[in-house]
Amino acid sequence: MQPSMKAKDHMTKNPVTLTPDSGVFEAIQALIDRSISGATVVDADGMVVGIVSEMDCLESILSGAYHGEMGGTVASVMTRNVECVEEEESVMTVANKLIDGHRRRFPVVHEGRFVGQISCRSILNAVSEFAAGPARLPD
């Protein structure tokens, strides 16, 4: 049997998420603790409302230091208008979107709600599994 090549089968199912009212320092700590460069921001209904990255946090800290107002919420620094992929999309379609958009990851949604995250590494793992083919039984 061939391995599945759908986003839902290769996404990270429980990635770090934040809410719009999470604090910037909470976001920074989450990124540091998990050694990740960004996290999806979801509302109370599980809808993707943004992405917050290390760069967003860094810009916030530098701006806050300059203006003497460090802190704030994720909503004030996150990137809005986030492109998501559907869980049924093929990993090859997602790979093309990652390349075309110069992105590292996408939130994965089902009926508009966040269900996971797929990254370049997720897709490389999927391709590696596919290339390995079905397990062979010894003679």
In order of start, what are the domains of the chain with their CATH numbers? Answer: 7-132 (3.10.580.10)
| Per-residue model confidence as pLDDT tens digits over 73-114 | 999 999 999 999 999 999 999 999 999 999 989 999 999 999
Structure confidence at residue 132 (pLDDT): 74
pTM summary value: 0.83
Q: Is 114 left (phi over 0), alpha (psi -120 to 50) or beta?
A: beta
What tens digit of pLDDT does each residue of 36-56 get? 989 999 999 999 999 999 999
pLDDT at 71 over 90: no
Q: What percent of the chain has pLDDT over 90?
A: 70
Residue 1: pLDDT band (50, 70, 90) is: very low
Helix, strand or coil for residue 25? helix
**Rounded CA separation 92/108 (Å):** 14
Q: Is the pLDDT of residue 126 over 90?
A: no
Amino acid occupying residue 1: M
Name the percent of the chain lying above pLDDT 70: 87
